[in-house]
Amino acid sequence: MKNFLLAISLIFFISFAADAQKKTQQTTKETAKDVEAAILKLEREDDIATKNGDKIALERLYADDFVGINATGGTSNKKDILTFYAAGGSVLAMNTSDQISVRVFDKTAIVTGRLSFQYNERVPNDRAIYRLRYTKIYLFRSDKWQIVAFHFTSLDESDEDNITAEK
């Protein structure tokens, strides 16, 4: 009788564990989709905040310990981002991302995409439309997603997707 109860208990435990694992996997898939949607929303917010020189939004989007590498190989931190894009108003006439892909790894999201931007009249004699490929790293901490790093690479002018406006 003891063996019978032990066998029934073991069967119950195994079926309970399998059901719990199935629910965890389903929740993880749903959570990854939710995170992907949240990150895509943040990417759109970053495009708009950067174009408009929105200091409050940029402060929220970029982590205090952010470090970035721009398309010319220079480095920047959060203060540099705020100074260039938000001090004294916007410097951009256009700033749009496309071809965005998001990969989620627990509390980290890796984003790749293509950025097109154009300076406004605050940057004299430069009306070119620039295209860059980028990688951004988002980290979830203190109950929010923030950009902790990025790396941009200029697209070659021979790239058929790279367009330049007349200067």
Cα separation, 82 vs 62, whole angstroms: 9
Instruction: Take residue 151 and report the two structure tokens written for it.
Output: 């790396």
Mean pLDDT within 136-147:
97
CA angle, residues 29, 35, 40, in degrees to nearest 5? 130
3-state class of 156 per DSSP?
A: coil
Question: Would you say residue 166 has pLDDT above 60?
Answer: no
Confidence of residue 12 (pLDDT cuts 50, 70, 90): low
3-state DSSP assignment of residue 158: coil
pLDDT at 4: 60
The amino acid occupying position 146 is: Q
Give the separation between CA 139 and CA 152, rounded to whole angstroms.
18
- Tens digits of residue pLDDT in 86-129: 988 889 999 999 999 999 999 999 999 999 999 998 888 788 89
Residue 167 has pLDDT above 90, yes or no: no
- The chain-wide mean pLDDT, for the chain, equals 84
Q: Which residues contact 134 (CB under 8 A, 6 or more apart)?
A: 97, 111, 112, 113, 114, 115, 150, 151, 152, 153
pLDDT score for 126: 82
Strand 62-69 with 144-154, pairing? parallel
pLDDT of residue 28: 52
**Model's pTM, two decimal places?**
0.77
- Confidence (pLDDT) at 77: 98
CA distance 113 to 152: 10
CB-CB contact of 147 with 46 (8 Å): yes
Out of 8-12, 93-97, 134-138, least confident range: 8-12
Interval 18-73: pLDDT, tens: 554 444 333 455 588 999 999 999 999 999 999 999 999 999 999 999 999 999 99
Domains of the chain, residue spans: 2-154
Domain covering 2-154, topology: Nuclear Transport Factor 2; Chain: A, (3.10.450)
